[in-house]
Structure 1
């Protein structure tokens, strides 16, 4: 065992490694960002000690003497070849993270377990899902937060005990723990993302509304959807295609019969300031005639594919095109292989981003077409009851399969990460601008390269609600660009569900409406006029708030701060620790959606301070209390926190059009009459705008007398076209007799009743 301080963000975080010094073992091939210098532990707010019998490590917060990690009073350390166990006492029952699972945000620690093994499984409770994130945050009785990350990619089970405590049982590798001492939840996430990599900065257009379905079937139907969306004047930025655009489900092809007009459709989208994304799966058909399918021919020639453990031939599974082989994205030639395929196809279909699906990897047969050998990798001595299925190779590849760096047994949980990384790097080189890669399977560090959606959810109210904990968890995991299929993927939706889901989805970081094959259309334009109006209204609100959301993503990319906050990030107490039906954009905008059917009011918690109704500007003063809010079917409750200035913009049907409009400010003063805000603005797509300084960065400040701005950077050359068209100022105690902007009189309205 070795212990050494490995401070990341604050130079006071801790790495604890437990390994066998006599044997070289597999370790996770993730380039974590360790500091170049160490720090004196006496300068940090923790102490470290250990006991010999039974062996245990103890980490305490120095300022409060609170336990952060204590394996001496938990499950004992066991270190075997394919079974490693260690436990730790927790500071409290308020535990979050450890995904990917469908559940409440607060983890139930009353003798429950979670499995960690990437699986193609539609979301359901008590089941390991698409991604693996062995990171948690715990909040102690003082309201301080700390985080623990186990850098281990093997199959794993975590058991929870109401002591409170938890126990890790991992099936390989080493124990490589990183402890982040916070002390605030935001500090913990900043420290964690400093280690695994800051989240990527999406292009501005990616924050618009995305539309997809499996089953457009042909160019004619696709064009009809695009036309009715435009005719309805519903904001709409990105059109997607699922696998039905392909020729026989073959990657890097399109059906030149059913989708003959696809190149022209994409060009038309671009002409209207819109964008296009398509799906690509990792499985490559090996059934095409030699010399006719470059993805297979080239991959075979260069040895790209994952091989079996018997004769070194590509392991054969079965996915949508039939028998398939699987690229090893850790192979040294994987980038050139994938890049060249994408570049060639981009010349046919000029896509703007890619959707990488089925990358757990999924397999319609268990292991391979030839089964799996009976050995300790395919049939390990420890079989986790918390992992779905009786065998690790169910619906995926044999763990004994060979990859460039190690066995699939060790690398399985990183397959989606490795594909996302190679895909993002390829698109960056091809497009030479920021893009969007959305992946189903994720691992720590995936957020550096792209985003995530919650997979094949169902069109029901439970899945609408569960989308909120899912998205909040991925803020902890360093993947803020995340969303859930609006209106539901599997099963038919209905007008009420789809309206409420569109209202909620308008405040996902990544917003996409997507549904399943043979299901009725559910794009907004297919509904009646009243439903369309409700959906249009909330999308226009989203588009008006995109400058604020974009600035949040900028800060996430630079500082590692989350884009969405649970309420306890703002006010940590026993009330907020359990709330997962409300959330915030940053620390300024609170969203209180309806999550149950036939409901026209919501019980919303208001953290202490001043809050302002986004629609009316009416003030709500709170000492930390619940309120019952009206929630008519065409409205989602939004409130702006006192002390905040939100940068807004005049919305339009695309972000391209909206970016040419005038800006505005929503000024919400605190109890002292002061407020502050921020705006980051560039061209929305350039790769190097931050590094090259080609951006404008403004700070807004307001008092009871005036609103001012401070220019921190003015490097965006088109910033001269940035005009402030209006400002909404709340909490005005007395209506003024006149108003000026830059010393010149301007028109204004003031409502004494609402004080706006």
Structure 2
């Protein structure tokens, strides 16, 4: 016997929203709304009396931004709203588009989901047959959603999570916490709140995603819990709020990720310099002679010829004694911030200043902020006081317009006016655990337990707007440690304060793939490890060789032995590290194009190999990854390794970048490695733009463009378009860009390339060099003209 289920009936249809009500109204005006948003996307929303929150901040379909107050949760105007059919079959109500079908059991509103595949409907997901929800509070307080666990289901996602990329038989807390020195294999929770996961069925090969639009603390259980009375199941639990979820059909995993990225908003298109090496350490700004230490960093970059585009200014610059006070310059440590910033800028290094959203109770501006009502408050209408580092403080409330204005004024007056280029939004996990803390909610008070991640999101937005207002035509660059879906509209991020170990190096790769699969593309890791001991020389080299392939490439540290992670930390390793960083500079045009594509097409920058290849063996790869469509990165991750073993995906040939040796896909191979070796494999048919002249610290703007051409061994076609602009302004929106299109057509006798340009931007170069990996016996035609390759297998082509 099954506990009583509440029967529902269809109440009304309004365009693409179908509303159902409790047939006997035993559940206090409980309603369920089904939204048909896209052919491959539907949404289910449960409402008891009224919505807990009438706005959403995470859902911004292909939108650049949304208001501070959020979007109306019932507004579906940004969606395409396709045609659909609906009908009732006895106790079932069916809603279907061309691609996705929901078959709803009206007794308890249990939903079976189907995908259209080969002209038939394939079941892909189903609510649990027994008590799918917590409609009658049998499970106590909170929101529950139980689904069946198919034996062929594999689960991925949830953003920044420790451990393996497959989440089966695990349970995860979804909240935000300052997890310094975390175990990258086991620690949970971490810094980010991303209530989204992907299910892939190994039998049907169909993938889909589920996104819960709820910001309260949650749990995701992927069949770790077992209960004989309910069969195999998985569940989502949220402490408060509404059950409001999106079903996103792939059918491939990469489709699910792209569609979720589209759903949460446009990815920020940051300036090109954000892709350069960024220096950082807590040590310099903690030093009593911080400005001198910072000047020495510039000199060391020059001395060791390490190209550097930015420096992340840790919070020690704000200290009074041993505590940090945001927007407070310590003039004893840094006597002349403006001169310091000017020196950095003259050397082509932008400063990114650390800022925090909590004011300690003895902060010089605390009373001012308290008087203006800028803090999150308790039930007595007084500032809520929470633990912040080793003291007490109050968090600023970014759902208060006065706070937003105050914050923006301070960012501009205390940082940007001094010559600081960008903001590093840090320690913004909002660790407020009281049930009696409230945010202003722009005039409608909200319990903080409903919106903790929202505060970090609005903090980013405020910082973004401050930078935009300060320099209206400069594309802002920002960093944030914490966040939720929507953060990609404003910031670049990283995996927080990791611990120095070989294990962290490995598991941060897996963590990064989890971020990518969850729609967070613009990220990196603290190279060398932030907390713990200093990295040994070999570990530092291998970490740098890994870090150069992520959008954020920062060497950072707060080592327990007071050492500082820098490229020149170990004299015996500096040559290997310089070589890796200069390779990063070489492929920066490729990275920049991937950043642009993520902005306009919602495609990942770094991704699992199985996103690109129809090959079952790639699902076992989680220590190798693709950079874009062409590069397979297989870093050396074992101490003292002399060989690197890996699997090359099938149905294509691969070039070893280091030796130009050609391998057939579908093989397990082992390559010899030295300390300098970065195992990198290029798919046949690749066209990769490069910086074609070595960049040094002194000469960073010597733009020369080349293309690495890796022809198909036999026959094949490929097309690649490179986007070029000034790298920092919004002028590209007014047509100030150039697109260089290369079309390659190979057969056994001829390699033909057609090159064309479009757009108004005046390039800093007039010629390009095409580099082939080896001598070619085939004829090479460029724009219908046969050419001879130089001795280094290259050719220079004029752009017309």
The reply to whether TM is greater than 0.5 is: yes
Residue 27 (structure 2) aligns with: none
After TM superposition, list the pairs within 5 Å mapping 1:607-618 onto structure 2: 607-608=649-650, 609-618=652-661
Q: Distance in 2 between matches of 1:306 and 1:94?
A: 40
SS at match of 1:598: coil
Residue 52 (structure 2) aligns with: 25
1:2 to 29, 32, 41: 32
Q: Distance in 2 between matches of 1:324 and 1:617?
A: 58
1:49 to 99, 103, 127: 103
Using a 3 Å threshold, how does the CA distance of structure 1 residues 572 and 90 change in structure 2: closer, same or farther?
Answer: farther
Q: Distance in 1 between matches of 2:631 and 2:725?
A: 23
SS at match of 1:341: helix
Residue 41 (structure 2) aligns with: 13
Residue 278 (structure 1) aligns with: 353
Residue by residue, what CA displacement relative to the aligned partner does 1:295-317 show, whole Å, maximum 9, x if unpaired? 435533432211112x1011123
Cα contact 2:416–2:422 (8 A) shared by 1: no
SS at match of 1:94: strand
Residue by residue, what CA displacement relative to the aligned partner does 1:527-566 show, whole Å, maximum 9, x if unpaired? 21x4111111111111111111111111111111111110
Q: In the alignment, does 2:270 pair up with 1:202?
A: yes
After TM superposition, list the pairs within 5 Å mapping 1:86-105 onto structure 2: 86-90=145-149, 92-105=152-165
Residue 116 (structure 1) aligns with: 174
Q: Give the number of aligned pairs.
A: 701
After TM superposition, list the pairs within 5 Å mapping 1:284-683 onto structure 2: 284-288=359-363, 293=364, 295-309=365-379, 311-319=380-388, 322-346=391-415, 349-362=418-431, 396-405=432-441, 406-432=446-472, 433-491=474-532, 492-516=534-558, 518-528=561-571, 530-608=572-650, 609-622=652-665, 624-650=666-692, 652-653=694-695, 657-670=699-712, 671-683=714-726
Using a 3 Å threshold, how does the CA distance of structure 1 residues 729 and 498 change in structure 2: closer, same or farther?
Answer: same
Cα contact 2:353–2:415 (8 A) shared by 1: no
Q: Distance in 2 between matches of 1:440 and 1:750?
A: 45
Q: In the alignment, does 2:123 pair up with 1:62?
A: no
1:183 to 240, 251, 263: 251
Residue 755 (structure 2) aligns with: 709
- Give, in angstroms, the shift of residue 261 of structure 1: 4.0
Cα contact 1:102–1:127 (8 A) shared by 2: yes
Residue 386 (structure 1) aligns with: none
Q: Which has the higher strand share?
A: 2
Q: Please report the RMSD computed on the Cα atoms of aligned residues, expressed in angstroms.
A: 2.5
Cα contact 1:214–1:515 (8 A) shared by 2: yes
Residue 161 (structure 1) aligns with: 223
Compare 671-680 and 646-655 and name the one that shifted more: 646-655
Using a 3 Å threshold, how does the CA distance of structure 1 residues 172 and 347 change in structure 2: closer, same or farther?
Answer: closer
Cα contact 1:274–1:654 (8 A) shared by 2: no
- Give, in angstroms, the shift of residue 170 of structure 1: 1.2
Residue 71 (structure 2) aligns with: none
Residue by residue, what CA displacement relative to the aligned partner does 1:152-192 show, whole Å, maximum 9, x if unpaired? 11111111217874211111111111111122223212211
Residue by residue, what CA displacement relative to the aligned partner does 1:383-413 show, whole Å, maximum 9, x if unpaired? xxxxxxxxxxxxx342321102211111113
SS at match of 2:531: coil
Q: Distance in 1 between matches of 2:212 and 2:274?
A: 32
Cα contact 1:28–1:151 (8 A) shared by 2: no
- Give, in angstroms, the shift of residue 493 of structure 1: 1.0
Q: Distance in 2 between matches of 1:219 and 1:639?
A: 43
SS at match of 2:465: helix
Q: Distance in 2 between matches of 1:651 and 1:397?
A: 54
Residue by residue, what CA displacement relative to the aligned partner does 1:389-439 show, whole Å, maximum 9, x if unpaired? xxxxxxx34232110221111111322222112211221211321122111
Q: In the alignment, does 2:280 pair up with 1:212?
A: yes
SS at match of 2:377: coil
Cα contact 1:25–1:174 (8 A) shared by 2: yes
- Structure of higher RCO (CA pairs closer than 8 Å, 6+ residues apart): 1
Cα contact 1:236–1:653 (8 A) shared by 2: no
Cα contact 1:667–1:675 (8 A) shared by 2: no
Q: Distance in 2 between matches of 1:700 and 1:681?
A: 14
Q: Distance in 2 between matches of 1:173 and 1:668?
A: 53
Q: In the alignment, does 2:310 pair up with 1:238?
A: yes
- Give, in angstroms, the shift of residue 476 of structure 1: 2.4
Using a 3 Å threshold, how does the CA distance of structure 1 residues 707 and 572 change in structure 2: closer, same or farther?
Answer: closer
Cα contact 1:263–1:350 (8 A) shared by 2: yes
Cα contact 2:754–2:782 (8 A) shared by 1: no
After TM superposition, list the pairs within 5 Å mapping 1:727-742 onto structure 2: 727-730=770-773, 733-734=776-777
Cα contact 1:5–1:39 (8 A) shared by 2: no
